[in-house]
A and B are shown apart, each in its own frame.
Chain A
Amino acid sequence: MRECNKHIQEIADYIDGELDAKLCDDIEDHLKGCKNCRLMVDTLKQTVILCKDGEKEELPESISSKLNEAIKKRWEKKFGKA
């Protein structure tokens, strides 16, 4: 872990819990002594958390009705009935 930039994919895998235990230990050891990597881990983690915080929009009823109508028409064309 001497050249941190080369290990950015491993750091991202570590954050997402997708790294094997041995490499996790290596990264955790490295983080103890590298402030920038700690900040990178923290801010990359927060980037995803902040994205997930934003509420999803509900599909407006008018669009949903239009969609159902269009699908029904297409379905009837393909299968002959709905």
Chain B
Amino acid sequence: MNEKELVKKAQSGDFEAFSLLIEKYKNKIYNLGLKLSGDRHDAEDILQDTFLKAVDNIDKFRGESTFGTWLYAIAVNAVRALHQSRKKAELRPIEEYLPSGHGSGDDTKELFEWGDPHELLEQKELKKVIDDALAEMPDKYSAPFILRYFEDLSVKEVADSMHLSVAAAKSRILRARLALRERLSEVFKEKANERV
């Protein structure tokens, strides 16, 4: 049975069908919550909140997006509700993540060359750097980035999940990617200097 048929059955009260949808998405939603919050308890709350809201609103799902996109939208709202009171530092504008003077003269500062990151950091350390950087980022940037590259959603699906235009979704994904690139560059540079 395909996902559309499962959703239809669930909407008519078939719990078995809904259980199959839970099975498909529970790990994904848990990991999304974990990446966005950096905290297992928060991830558990986000997971539960998302599926309970999905039960409450299953009859309102009209199939304009995929069920997954609809579920991710609920999860992102659950994260927002949880993080409302937590202030996270705003990301800088895109141009501030780019080398100054780049392309406009001789004052261009050369970017740091990473080489093989795995020679500088172990996989575990790398994961921690990435997870911490994402958890510290405002959700409006980290959520589109995670949906795009961890969950492999298209830019259009990310835009739908976040109620954004495609251009705005693209811009937020890029800002998060540049911020993360910069953080990784700092860490790699530090590690490379320690070795000299």
Contact = CB atoms under 8 A, between A and B. Distances in A.
Contact of A81 (B15, B51, B171): B15
Nearest to B104: A3
A50 B181 CA distance: 10
A79 B184 contact: no
A78 B184 contact: no
A47 B180 contact: yes
A43 B185 contact: yes
B18 interface: yes
A13 B177 CA distance: 12
Given A51-B180, A56-B31, A63-B44, A5 B103 contact: yes
Contacts, number: 125
A67 B51 contact: yes
Contacts of B56: 74, 78
A71 to B, nearest CB: 5
B98 A50 contact: no
A4 interface: yes
A67 B48 contact: yes
A18 interface: yes
Contacts of A43: 111, 114, 181, 184-185
Interface in A24-48: 34-36, 39-40, 42-44, 46-48
Interface of B: 13, 15, 18-19, 22, 26-27, 30-31, 34, 44, 47-48, 51-52, 55-56, 94-95, 98-99, 102-104, 108, 110-114, 117, 123, 126-127, 130-131, 149-150, 155, 170-171, 173-174, 177-178, 180-181, 184-185
Given A43-B111, A51-B150, 14 more contacts: A2-B103, A3-B104, A12-B174, A13-B170, A39-B111, A44-B181, A47-B180, A47-B184, A48-B149, A51-B149, A57-B34, A63-B44, A68-B22, A75-B55
Interface of A: 1-5, 8-9, 12-13, 18, 34-36, 39-40, 42-44, 46-48, 50-59, 63-64, 66-68, 70-72, 74-75, 78-82
